[in-house]
Amino acid sequence: MRVVLAEDLALLREGLVSLLQAHDFEIAAAVDNGPSLLKALLDHRPDVAVVDVRLPPTFTDEGLQAALEARRQVPGLPVLVLSQYVEQLYARELLADGSGGIGYLLKDRVFDAGQFVDAVRRVASGGTAMDPEVVARLVARGRDDSPLGRLTPREREVMELMAQGRSNAAIAQQLVVTERAVTKHTANIFAKLDLAVSDDDNRRVLAVLAYLNQ
Amino acid sequence: MPWRGLRLWLLSFPLLFVSTMVTTAFSLVGVGVGILLVPSAVLALRSLLGTYRDLVSNWTGRTVERPYLPVPEGGPTQRFVAIIQDPATWRDLAFMLLDPFVSAFTASLSFFAMLYGIYGWLLAAFLGRIIKAHSGNEWYTFIPLQGSFSDHPVNAALIAGFGTLYAIAGLYYGPRLMDVYGRWTQSMLGPTEKSRLALRVQHLAETRADAVDTSARELRRIERDLHDGAQARLVAMGMSLGAIEHLLDKDPDRARTLLAETRASSAKALSELRDLVRGIHPPVLADRGVGDAVKALALDHPLPVEVSVDLPGRPDAPVESAAYFAVSEILTNVAKHSGARHVWVDVRYEAGMLRISVTDDGTGGASMSGGTGLRGIERRIGTFDGVLALSSPPGGPTIVTLELPCALLTS
């Protein structure tokens, strides 16, 4: 699987390169600034891009802008954005085109190599990887009188994991329940939130995120 | 409108009283008692002239600011010296002596013209006949009075006609005369270039002291947060790593648990640093400027917040930051105290001002003092010459408006 990597701190860049190589990814390009990121994305058309939000020359949201621009030119290009901070505003912008293949994670998540690589793979295959912190803040906005308030604590837990982009199997493993139980919870959640049920994992996640982003 | 002239004319009576006080006080300086009396007499004069300033500002739209230099605390001699050294005192005295004449020929003139007009009508109606019956003698303008309509209709009609002219002229020229009077007041009672500068220096000294205080307090807070938070965690992690090194051969299981704990601790340290940085300079503010940063605030707010932004560029970073934290604090207040269901934030740039208003449909009745923190916000934006206005009638809505003068950098 070919990856384009953008990270301006050499130490972190090397770390990510070796981490991804250790998990059988092929590094098509590893760049350290916004303009060369856009060029690399358009030239290499990687299977997935791992991008730091803040890059030279402006040290603002250069990486995010390059990723969004690349996705405008190559719709659906899978991008996993890493950042020291997660902002709902940026999460919304990334999800705005509704086409999936989007990840937005805190840099800390790299500590858990297994989960991180799993997230990269998920994004590459058109799935979603939202940071638990983003999801928690999205859910926190729901007031008690909204449909979110009618979810049982367990359903809420399942929904948060689903919004992070996890598959039913992964959710079942994390919560130590059977996959059947998760499927049942999912059906309840969709009924309570009045969302159309879909068998496709990725669509389901996007539907939940779109609901939370309202 | 003509009553304004009357009101100014009536004001000249207290002015006369105060001016007697002031002149007496000054005449007693030679025998020493004056030094004690002058300050209070002059302060009485100042407060009376404040009424003139307010009236003129309300009536003519010409704002007349107070020009006085601050009177120092201290002994009577010091106060006396400061007051007679303030040029505004002497300009006040000149105003006090000249104003009765100036106002009689400007602001009050229109009132007296109308009064004279009405007197003409009264003469024509019945007063003329009564005066004549008592063999009185009277001239109206240049017309010798002969009687009223009933006995001398031509003479009475002439007098009534002139009376009408006077009344109309008084009504018509009233605003213009008032404006002339406003200019006079402004030039005598308003600040001169020198006192404006002195007042400005005073304001700057105050806001600078505030700014230094605030930033020192911030630095102390950051130092404490780092010391108790991330720094302490790093120390603990270092110790754990030492222990792990030691346990690696002896008790690998124990080492593994400690490793997991250390990793969790590093994540915790990072998250604390993140919160700290968010409090110093929020990432969206740094990346996108105050418009998007306020939108990000709105997304994190427990109430639905509608944000509209109209900014052609970005203000300087310090102004942006001051505006952002002000809005952030106001929004926190709204969530805590207002009982609102909806909030609207409007950010725009108009006439050299960054203007932000936060409106909520809560219960209202907010005040600048009393734990709302609005006074603190006002002080902090004061460093940038910003002002804050609050409108919060009981029952709502509450509107807080900020204005910060600044230039925009267009990207």
- Supply B200's token pair: 């400005």
Residue B206 lies in a domain: no
Residue of A26, A33, A28, A31 whose CA lies nearest to A45: A28
pLDDT above 60 (res A144): no
For the entire predicted model, the pTM comes to: 0.72
Asked if A88's CB is within 8 angstroms of B302's CB, the reply is no
Nearest to B107 by CA among B44, B153, B175, B40: B175
* Nearest residue of A to residue B285, measured between CA atoms: A60
Nearest-by-Cβ selection for B287 from A61, A108, A137 = A61
The percentage of residues in chain A with a pLDDT greater than 70, rounded to a whole number, is 98
**Domain match, B294 and B270 both:** no
Q: Does A92 contact B270 at a Cβ distance shorter than 8 Å?
A: no
- Quick check: B284 and A92 CB within 8 A? no
Tokens describing residue B214: 């605030």
A vs B, Cβ pairs < 8 A, gives: 42
Chain A residues with CB-CB distance to B286 below 8 A: 60
Structural domain harbouring B273 = 229-280
Q: List chain A residues with CB under 8 Å of B411.
A: none
* CATH code (residue B346): 3.30.565.10
Distance from CA of B190 to the nearest CA of A (A): 48
Chain A positions touching chain B (beta carbons under 8 Å): 53-54, 60-61, 83-85, 87-90, 92, 107-108, 111, 137, 140-141, 143
| CA gyration radius, chain B | 35
Domain boundary residue, one of A130, A151, A169: A130
Per-residue pLDDT, A146: 75
State mean pLDDT over A130-147. Answer: 80
The pLDDT value recorded for residue A121 is 94
- Using the structure block, give the residue that is written with the tokens 């952002």: B324
Q: Do B115 and B64 belong together in one domain?
A: yes
Q: Which of A58, A108, A137 to mutate to test the interface with B (most CBs of B within 10 A)?
A: A108
* pLDDT value, residue B315: 93
Q: Is residue B214 part of a domain?
A: no
Q: What does the alpha-carbon distance between residue A210 and residue A162 come to, in Å, rounded to a whole number? A: 12
Strand partners, A106: A83
Q: Which helix (H) or strand (E) holds B237?
A: helix B230-250
pLDDT at A22: 94
Residues in chain A with CB shorter than 8 Å from the CB of B287 are 53-54, 60-61
- The tokens describing B11, both together, are 């004001």
Domain boundary pick from A88, A115, A130: A130
- For residues A143 and A46, membership in a common domain is answered with no
Residues A44 and A98 in one domain: yes
Residue A179, Cβ density class (10 Å: 0-12 exposed, 13-18 middle, ≥19 buried): middle
Query: Are residues B288 and A60, on separate chains, in Cβ contact within 8 Å?
Result: yes
B185 and B235: one domain? no
Token digits of residue B62: 């010409």
Same domain, B328 and B350: yes
Angle at B81 between CA B75 and CA B82, to 5 degrees: 90
| Exposed/middle/buried for residue A18 (C-beta within 10 Å: 0-12, 13-18, 19+) | exposed
Work out the mean pLDDT of chain A and round it to a whole number: 89
Q: Which of chain A's residues have a Cβ under 8 Å away from the Cβ of B266?
A: 111
B125 lies in the same domain as B76? yes
Separation CA A123–CA A146 (nearest Å): 30
Same domain, A22 and A66: yes
What value, to the nearest 5°, has the Cα angle with vertex B92 and ends B86 and B97? 140
Q: Which residue of B has its CA nearest to A84?
A: B274
pLDDT at B147: 77
Are residues B68 and B47 part of one domain?
yes
Same domain flag for B39 and B96: yes
Q: How many domains does chain B have?
A: 3
Q: Cβ contact (<8 Å) for A108 and B287?
A: no
Quick one: average pLDDT of A196-203? 77
Q: Are residues A117 and A174 in the same domain?
A: no
Domain boundary among A97, A130, A163: A130
Structural domain range at position A205: 135-213
**Interchain contact, B288 vs A87, CB within 8 Å:** no
User: Strand B343-350 to strand B305-310: parallel, antiparallel, or no bridges (unpaired)?
Assistant: parallel
Coil, strand or helix: which one is B405?
strand
Q: Is the pLDDT of residue A210 over 60?
A: yes
Count how many residues are written for chain A: 214
Q: Quick one: closest CA in B to A86, which residue?
A: B283
Which tokens go with B304?
A: 């639905």
Domain co-membership, A109 together with A152: no
pLDDT bin (cut points 50, 70, 90) of residue A195 is: confident
Q: Which residue type, as a one-letter code, is found at position B142?
A: F
Q: Are B44 and B3 in contact (CB under 8 A)?
A: no
Q: Is B90 within the bounds of a domain? A: yes
Q: Which residues of B touch A83 (CB under 8 A)?
A: 283
> Which of B267, B277, B286 is the closest to A108 by Cβ?
B267
Neighbours of B176 (CB within 10 A): 11
Q: How many helices (H) and strands (E) does chain B have?
A: 14, 9
**Residue A30: helix, strand or coil by DSSP?**
strand
B223 assigned to some structural domain: no
pLDDT of residue B130: 84
C-alpha–C-alpha distance, residues B95 and B92, integer Å: 5
How do the pLDDT tens digits run along chain B, 411 residues long? 667 878 888 888 888 899 898 889 888 888 888 888 888 888 889 989 988 888 888 888 888 888 887 777 778 888 888 888 888 888 988 988 888 888 888 888 888 888 888 888 888 888 888 888 888 788 888 888 887 887 888 888 888 888 899 888 888 888 888 888 888 888 888 888 878 888 888 889 888 998 899 889 989 999 998 888 888 899 999 999 999 999 988 999 999 999 999 988 888 898 889 888 888 889 999 999 999 999 999 988 888 899 999 999 999 999 999 999 999 999 998 988 888 999 999 999 998 999 999 999 988 888 887 666 888 898 889 889 999 999 989 987 999 999 999 998 876
Q: Assess if residue B221 is contained within a domain.
A: no
Q: How many residues does chain B have?
A: 411
Which residues in A lie closer than 8 A to residue B283 (C-beta atoms)? 54, 83-85, 87
Distance from CA of B178 to the nearest CA of A (A): 56
Residues A141 and A120 in one domain: no
Number of domain units in chain A = 2
Q: Which of B161, B191, B221 is the last residue of a domain?
A: B191
User: Are B69 and B127 in a shared domain?
Assistant: yes
Q: What is the DSSP letter of B192?
A: P
* Contact between chains at B300 and A84 (C-beta distance less than 8 A): no
Search chain A and give the residue with CA nearest B277.
A85
In terms of domains, do A26 and A105 share one?
yes
Of B249, B280, B311, the domain-final residue: B280
**Cβ neighbours for B225, distance < 8 A, ≥ 6 positions apart:** B272, B276
What the block records as the tokens of A55 is 């890059």
Residue B220 lies in a domain: no
> What is the reported pLDDT for A211?
82
Q: Does residue A67 share a domain with residue A23?
A: yes
pLDDT at residue B309, rounded to an integer: 95
pLDDT in tens, A60-74: 899 999 999 999 999
Nearest to B283 among A85, A107, A108 (CB): A85
Q: Which of B266, B274, B292 sits opposite A89 (nearest CB)?
A: B292
Report CB contact under 8 Å: B274, A92.
Answer: no
Residues B265 and B183 occupy one common structural domain:
no
Which residue, among B311, B399, B304, B309, has the nearest Cα to B357 in the 3D structure?
B399
Contact between residue B64 and residue B56 where contact means Cβ atoms under 8 Å apart: yes
Residues with Cβ within 8 Å of residue B6, at least 6 apart in sequence: B108, B111
Are A13 and A79 within one domain?
A: yes
Does the distance separating the beta carbons of A60 and B286 come in below 8 Å? yes
List of chain B residues whose C-beta atoms are within 8 Å of the C-beta of residue A92: 299
What's the confidence (pLDDT) of residue B88? 86
Together in a domain, B186 and B75 = yes
C-alpha span between B112 and B116 (Å, rounded): 6
Q: Do A137 and B300 touch (CB under 8 A)?
A: yes
Domain CATH code at residue A39: 3.40.50.2300
Q: Rg of chain A's alpha carbons, rounded to an integer?
A: 17
Q: CATH code at A177? A: 1.10.10.10
ipTM of the complex: 0.85
Contact between chains at B288 and A85 (C-beta distance less than 8 A): no
